[in-house]
Structures are given as C-alpha cells and as structure tokens.
Amino acid sequence: MKTFIKYDYYAQIFVAVSFIILLVTDLVTFEKGYYVIGYFVMATFHTVSFLIRIFLKNYPKSTYFKIYSTVSLTILISLLILFLANDSEWLPSFAGFILTLGIPLTPVLAICYLIIVHTDYEKFLTIND
C-alpha cells in the first residue's frame, strides 16, 4: 500500500501538471480544444486510482474520500446508464440530469482528489520518518 500511495501521488501530480501545461498551450497557441483529451486522460487516472483505493484493505478512508467517492461514483454510474439504457425513457433523462449537474463539478472533484492524494502522501512521509 505504501508503494502504491507513493507512486500514485507522483503519477497524479505529473498528470495534473501535464494537463495544466496542455490547457495553457492549447488556449494560447492551438485553440483547437486539445485540452479535452488531457481532461479525459486525467479523469481516467483519477478513476483508476480511486477504484484501487476503494478496494485496498489497509487504506483508511477519510471523510473527504468517502464524500468524493460518493459524488464521483454517482457521476460515473450516470454516465454508464446514459450509454447503456437507451431503451428506457426516464432512466437516460434522469442520468442526463445528474450529468448536467455533475460535469461542471468535475474540475472541483479533480482538485479535491489531488488534495486527498497529497494528504495521504504526507501521512505516508510522517509514518516513514
């Protein structure tokens, strides 16, 4: 678990910094919307890391992590429902409503997840000192 927290911290920071560089570069020079690719890459890294942390047995889940996981899973499940349940009438519209509220919230969730990862890494450093 300690190795995962260490590598996950560095990976999340690298992806976040890369996304910021891509965002600024795209807005200043390209103006083509390439930052959207970086957005999905960062979201994928966060989702994989988040799912691994959920299933780690020795990982202490803080209140912030529980709140983050509830909101993030709600958005992910809504996205999944939107893609899979096209036959129903009310289910995709309900999932779309959740996504309408959730998509603007995702940058805030990304920042919150980076704070959670950083806090875990700081705990890791204090335990090993």
* pLDDT tens for each residue of 8-28: 889 989 988 888 888 888 888
What pLDDT is attached to residue 129? 58
Q: How many domains does the chain have?
A: 1
Domain range for residue 18?
2-128
Residue 129 or 81, more confident: 81
Model pTM score: 0.77
Query: Mean of the pLDDT values across residues 77-104?
Result: 72
∠67-68-69 over CA atoms, to 5°?
Answer: 90
Q: How many CA atoms lie within 13 A of 78 on its CB side?
A: 18
DSSP 3-state of 83:
helix
Look up tokens 């519209």; give the residue: 93
